[in-house]
């Protein structure tokens, strides 16, 4: 396995409990800008999606301003997520153990993670969320440009705009669903949210959920192995 699961700044700090670096300040800021952009984009998009949801436009100062700011939030989301993509795409490449992890997903839900393969920095579920977000954001920005009439109406036909609007709406619903799964999973796996707020996790958390990554950190090289629990 390549060493891209382990970053030079990630260290294990002995103590009670053991503390493990997981995300830098820059990565955390990048993540929360992306998260905030996606939430604002969803709310503003829903406001102009259906009349029954138009009341959400009040969060943005009314209908006209909502229509104006929505595509710009989309641009912010695209570039912010691009930063995350460049940081983490290698660590999210599919590995042979990921298929086995998915096949034994019931064991994960029932807190029997010793029955699933050891995984690196991200498990198969996190990787699916990452690549789903990547694909859907590209679809959203591409279709969004087609229907951004203020700047691009002269370059597209009405038929193209209608198709793009349909694609944009479907992708928007899909990405909201992916975000809900991501958010629920972060709450479900205790200790995940502190990783994105403080940038650190306990050794016990890393040993339980991302044991292969922790072994690599301890060994100082990819696929390092230790006979005992390095989280102790």
Which residues are tagged catalytic? 182
Query: Which stretches of 89-200 are DSSP H helices?
Result: 96-103, 105-109, 124-146, 149-152, 158-188, 192-197
DSSP 61: T
Collapse the DSSP code of 6 into the 3-class scheme (helix H, G, I; strand E, B; otherwise coil) and give the result: coil
List, in order, residues 6 or more apart from 183 with CB less than 8 Å away: none
Put residue 62 in one of left, alpha, beta given phi > 0 → left and psi -120 to 50 → alpha: left
List, in order, residues 6 or more apart from 24 with CB less than 8 Å away: 7, 9, 199
- Residue 101 token pair: 């992890």
- Residue 65 token pair: 């301003």
20 phi, psi to nearest 5 deg: -125, 125
């Amino acid at each position: 396995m390549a060493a891209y699961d382990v970053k030079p700044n990630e260290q294990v700090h002995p103590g009670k409990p053991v503390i493990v670096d997981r995300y830098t300040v820059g990565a955390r800021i990048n993540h929360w800008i992306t998260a905030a952009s996606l939430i604002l984009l969803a709310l503003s998009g829903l406001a102009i999606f259906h009349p029954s949801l138009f009341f959400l436009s009040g969060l943005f100062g009314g209908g006209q301003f909502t229509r104006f700011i929505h595509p710009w939030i989309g641009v912010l989301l695209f570039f912010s997520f691009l930063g995350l993509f460049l940081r983490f795409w290698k660590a999210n490449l599919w590995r042979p153990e990921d298929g086995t992890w998915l096949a034994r997903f019931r064991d994960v839900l029932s807190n029997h993670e010793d029955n699933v393969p050891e995984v690196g920095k991200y498990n198969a579920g996190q990787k699916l969320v990452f690549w789903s977000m990547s694909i859907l954001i590209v679809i959203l920005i591409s279709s969004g440009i087609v229907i951004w009439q203020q700047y691009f109406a002269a370059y597209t036909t009405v038929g193209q705009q209608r198709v793009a609007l349909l694609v944009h709406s479907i992708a928007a619903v899909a990405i909201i669903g992916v975000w809900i799964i991501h958010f629920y999973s972060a709450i479900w796996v205790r200790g995940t949210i502190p990783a994105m707020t403080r940038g650190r996790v306990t050794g016990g958390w890393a040993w339980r959920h991302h044991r292969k990554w922790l072994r690599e950190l301890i060994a100082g090289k990819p696929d390092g192995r230790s006979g005992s629990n390095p989280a102790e």
